[in-house]
């Protein structure tokens, strides 16, 4: 039964991501299956890692998702979905980690 619940949540996650990718696109085309699958996989792993408190792993997925070639509106919608599904309290350390690592990277580049 637990596997069934996980499957249902993955299906729901995939549907939400598909809706975000299609929303206001002005196109009738569906998101490409490989892209949709990759985003779903990254989101699922981010949510699981974030809920378990595995900040570096969740941050890696977050960075991958935000690096996708999507417009800002879609990235914001994905980010909102991540926060909602992970839980704000679990997501905040992930966001802080990403910002800290980015600041370290930018500073060390100069």
Q: Which has more confidence, 8 or 97?
A: 97
CA angle, 96 as apex, 34 and 73 as ends, to 5°? 45
pLDDT band of 7, cuts 50, 70, 90 = low
First to last CA, the chain: 53
* 61 has a pLDDT exceeding 90: yes
Contact criterion met (CB below 8 Å) for 59 and 92: no
Looking at residues 53-79, what average pLDDT do you find?
A: 93
**H or E, element range at 1:** none
Measure CA 85 to chain center: 10
* 21 has a pLDDT exceeding 70: yes
Query: Which residues fall within 8 angstroms of residue 51, CB to CB, at 6 or more apart?
Result: 86, 87, 90
pTM for the whole structure: 0.76
**H or E, element range at 54:** none
């Amino acid at each position: 039964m637990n596997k069934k619940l996980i499957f249902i949540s993955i299906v729901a996650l995939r549907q939400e991501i598909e809706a975000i990718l299609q929303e206001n696109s002005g196109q009738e085309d569906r998101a490409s299956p490989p892209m949709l699958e990759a985003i779903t996989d990254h989101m699922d792993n981010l949510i699981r890692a974030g809920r378990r408190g595995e900040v570096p792993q969740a941050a890696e997925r977050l960075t991958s998702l935000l690096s996708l070639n999507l417009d800002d509106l879609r990235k914001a919608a994905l980010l909102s979905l991540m926060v909602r599904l992970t839980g704000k309290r679990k997501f905040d350390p992930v966001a802080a980690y990403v910002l800290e690592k980015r600041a370290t990277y930018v500073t060390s580049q100069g």
